[in-house]
Structure 1
Amino acid sequence: MTPASASSRAEEPEPRPAPLDWAARLSGRMGRVKASEIRELLKLLDQPDILSFAGGIPDPALFPAEEIGAAVQRQLADPALAGQALQYTVSEGLPALRRWIVERMGRWGAPCTEANVLITAGSQQALDLIGKLLISPGDAVLVDRPTYLGALQAFNAYEPAYLDREEVEAGAAPALGYVVPDYANPTGASLTLAEREALLDLAEARDFVLVEDAAYRELRFEGEARPPLLALDIARAGSIEAARTLLCGTFSKTLAPALRIGWICGPAAAIEKLVLLKQGCDLHVSTLNQLAACEAVQEGYDQHLSRLRLAYRAKGQAMCAALARHMPAGVTWTEPEGGMFVWLTLPEGLDGAELLARGLATERVAFVPGAPFFATGAQPNTIRLSYSLPTEAQIDEGVKRLARLIAGP
């Protein structure tokens, strides 16, 4: 072998191993985990010429930023307080914040103690923890048609089968039922008192757990709120420990989403197990955020809620008025009593996803197609509109664009 050939062979690179096939390593449950169409649509908010009715995003002008900022500064300015604020805390959540929630639940007609409350990273984590606790592969879950897309995403990883109300009334027995009784996402609809009692009757008859999503409960436009399912359940059962309802609450729609603070309220036997699951997930919600939220709600919270309700009522009324002015014949919509959403049913033959693609290209208006909100039997001729973020003038202009789009050439 010549010196030149020896040098050439020495410079040949070593063969590299084949890249790992990650798709082949995924668990079977990942086949049911899909991207959120809403999260993708939120990226459009950075395009200033698009009028968006897509995400159910609180109006940032209504955030109590000054109060939250002052609370954080007070915590960090004092060395002793800062030591607590930046430290680990108990998985159940700060006792002071849980005591405030206990008082709030009492005002809602659901007497409980701190042992009945777990602080979570928003109500979205609450749904995931509940799914992990109660859903085994193949278990049936009762949901409305349509229902909150985030709940389907949380539950899908635990491989359930979905049932609607008619199937359960006909005799099917789910492991749990999920419902948004007040100003629901996506429809804006609310259950009457009789409908709440009938749902509890059904849960008792089929012996399943009820999961009550109370994310929008505090955003009623006017009048007295109807009692939550948990309150009605406690009245029947005699105490929260004998109830079959888990209530999921959140500050994301009333204080600020970035705090990522929600809670689960229910029987202590369930809360104890959920605490164990949270420990394995993230140990606890940010101590600093819990302290800031706790301070922000101690004084003036009801006045802050009144401000939110007035603002969202004006926007909701502007949305319904604009729909009445501009929509062509054949379009129907809900008229919510609170919350952030209106649900449109389009004439047969129109597809919400196709309409969105044309709307972005031609009218520069965004919304959420309705089909993803259905666990089964999707209705493509539906769309969800959120009025929480745009101004009243933008609402009218956006609805006008949408009406032109629906009417067609």
Structure 2
Amino acid sequence: MGPLSSLAAGETRLDWDSLFAGRIARMKASEIRELLKLLDRPEVISFAGGIPDPALFPDAAFRDGLQAALSGADRGQALQYSLSEGYRPLREWIVGRMASLGIVCDVDNIMITSGSQQALDYLGKLLLSPGDTALTGWPTYLGALQAFNAYEANYDRLVPGDNRSASAFRDAAEAKGGRAKFIYVSADFANPSGETLDLSERQRILALADALDCAVIEDAAYQSLRYEGEEIAPLLALDIARCGSIEKARTIYCGSFSKTLAPGLRVGWVCAPKAVIGRLVLMKQASDLHSATLNQMAVDHVARTVFDAQISRIVATYGARRDAMLKALSAHMPQGVHWTRPAGGMFIWLTLPEAIDGAELLAQSLQREQVAFVPGRAFYPDAGRGNAIRLSFSCADEGPIAEGIARLGRSIRRAMDAATPAAWKTSEPCARSL
């Protein structure tokens, strides 16, 4: 049956499914976006959304920034078409920010995007041909998988301590009909695991990228949210240090103001060699011309006036909430449950006994305990392990965290009692430092 299928005499209807590109079948709804709807239910304690606390947004600074943009000499610019590369003063501020991280670049190495999610989408479009392979963590960020899936990517597992050779990765990619195009990594406080890569692991990733002659995409959305320990140089900084210039680097850095200032304005950036930025600018022109200039001007004002103070404020608040969740987990989790102890970010990753499925646990937890979280299966490129869940501590105060984790502990105990294998009762509940 063709695109026009008969309904009745004289009537036709367009069969849209027959017109959609084959890649559409790889595009799935985000479980997290659906779970965010639960935030409107006051009876639910939600650890689901990895979103910043709106009570911590620098509202006054944004009001001042918007007023300045709309009342100053540049007010016409705020409402006019603009450069696809982005608002130059904001790009100049980002150059200074990158320098503070050990990344020497200039304004032409920066392009503003509509959040770092748009950067991931553009990079998937730029680098992936059908059948190519992306090397990722296992688990990894769901939004990255959604972006790369649209360009018909394959995936291979890259995890800390893995001793696979570059030739093994290369052969696996070729067997799937393409080549390994990039390594995608969130080196600091990754979503969903909370994992931070140490210096030796970062160097290993760069060496592997050299051997594969592929790019590295560094997703730095949570880099500023460190609660303990010493900062480790970003991959791009390490890359520049060894090759001598950002123009010779193979690392593409994706930054964002969403977790530090506010997500609603959708302002992120890419820092990369000019050869990469030039191609991304062409994509930006074809996609949305440019990110909203008014938003960029407001973010520029806020970044210049309160960025450091804002970072100090949110780090103190989120750090206390992380500590409260770790304390509650130690108090309420049954034997056989393990969790990460992140040094920053917004997430703790729980590994459950193998017989417990995170999605089934969520349904039971919502029904009986009114606690929400994200099942872990969605974070695996192969929809693999179901016995994991992601908890976010960013939007709950210490009291609700304690109560919610106690409720979650009851849900997990009920699920374990229903399955009753003795094996998981042989190990104590514990946290794993990252």
* C-alpha distance in 2 between matches for 1:274 and 1:90: 13
Whole-Å separation in 2 of the counterparts to 1:70 and 1:303: 16
Structure 2 match to 1:140: 133
- Give CA deviations for 1:20-70 in whole Å, capped at 9, x if unaligned: 111111000001000000000001111110010001010111100110011
In the aligned structure 1, how far is the partner of 2:329 from the partner of 2:118?
35
Pick one of 340, 347, 356 that aligns with 2:353. 347
Does the aligned pair in 2 maintain the 1:350–1:380 contact within 8 Å?
Answer: yes
Task: Verify the 8 A CA contact 1:333 1:343 in the aligned structure 2.
Answer: yes
- CA offset digits 1:310-362 (Å, max 9, x no partner): 11100001110100010000000000000000000001200000001111111
5 Å-filtered alignment, 1:302-321, equals: 302-321=308-327
Aligned to 1:208: 214
Q: In structure 1, list runs of 5 or more residues that go unmatched.
A: 1-13
Residue number in structure 2 paired with 1:3: none
| SS at 1:342 equivalent | strand
* Post-superposition offset of 1:187: 0.5
Deviation beyond 4 Å, 4+ runs, structure 1? 166-170
Alignment correspondent of 1:172: 169
Tell me the percent identity. Answer: 55
Question: Residue type of the partner of 1:171?
Answer: A
Quick check: 1:163 aligned with 2:156? yes
Whole-angstrom distance in 2 between the partners of 1:122 and 1:224 = 27
CA distance in 2, matches of 1:150, 1:387: 19
Matches within 5 A, 1:371-386: 371-376=377-382, 378-386=384-392
The aligned counterpart of 1:402 is 408
Pairing partner for 2:301 from 295, 300, 305: 295
Give the distance between the partners of 2:165 and 2:34, measured in 1 at CA: 34
Match of 2:192 in 1: 186
Q: Cα distance, 1:17 vs. partner?
A: 3.0
Q: CA deviation at 1:77?
A: 2.8
1:284 is matched by which residue type in structure 2? H
Quick check: 1:23 aligned with 2:22?
no
CA distance in 1, matches of 2:71, 2:50: 35
Q: Relative to structure 2, which stretch is displaced further, 377-386 or 267-276? A: 377-386
Partner of 1:40: 34
Q: How does 1:263-274 map to 2 (within 5 A)?
A: 263-274=269-280
Q: TM-score, normalised by structure 1?
A: 0.95
Q: How many residues align?
A: 395
Q: Distance in 1 between matches of 2:324 and 2:93?
A: 35
2:398 corresponds to 1:392: yes
User: Shift of residue 157 of structure 1?
Assistant: 0.4
Equivalent-residue separation in structure 2 for 1:170 and 1:357 (angstroms): 43
- Who is 1:329 aligned against? 335
Q: 1:88 aligns with which of 78, 81, 85?
A: 81
Contact 1:261 1:285 in 2 (8 A): yes
Q: Secondary structure at the match of 1:219?
A: coil
Alignment match, 1:281: 287
Give the one of 227, 245, 249 matched to 2:251: 245
What SS class does the counterpart of residue 137 from structure 2 fall into? coil
TM-score, normalising length: structure 2:
0.89
Look up the match of 2:46: 52
Distance 1:351 1:192 in 2: 31
Greater gyration radius: 1
- The 8 Å contact of residues 247 and 274 in structure 2, kept in 1 or not, is answered as yes
Amino acid at match of 1:121: S
Please, what is the CA RMSD of the aligned residues? 1.3
Segment of structure 1 superposing worse, 212-221 or 19-28? 19-28
Unaligned 5+ runs, structure 2: 1-7, 171-179, 418-434
Structure 1 residue 170: Cα displacement: 5.3
- The answer to whether residue 57 in structure 2 is matched with residue 63 in structure 1 is yes
Deviations 1:153-199 (A, max 9, x none): 00000001101125664522311110000000001110001111111
Q: Distance in 1 between matches of 2:255 and 2:351?
A: 29
SS in 2 for 1:172: helix
What corresponds to 2:173 in structure 1? none
Report what 1:107 is aligned to: 100
**Superimposed CA distance per residue, residues 111-152 of structure 1 (whole angstroms, 9 cap, x where no aligned partner):** 001111110000000000000000000001101100000000
Instruction: Tell me how far apart the structure 2 counterparts of residues 194 and 99 of structure 1 sit (CA, whole Å).
Output: 31
Instruction: Tell me if structure 2 keeps the 8 A contact 1:32–1:159.
Output: yes
The amino acid that maps onto 1:53 is F
Contact 1:142 1:168 in 2 (8 A): no
Distance 2:77 2:333 in 1: 55
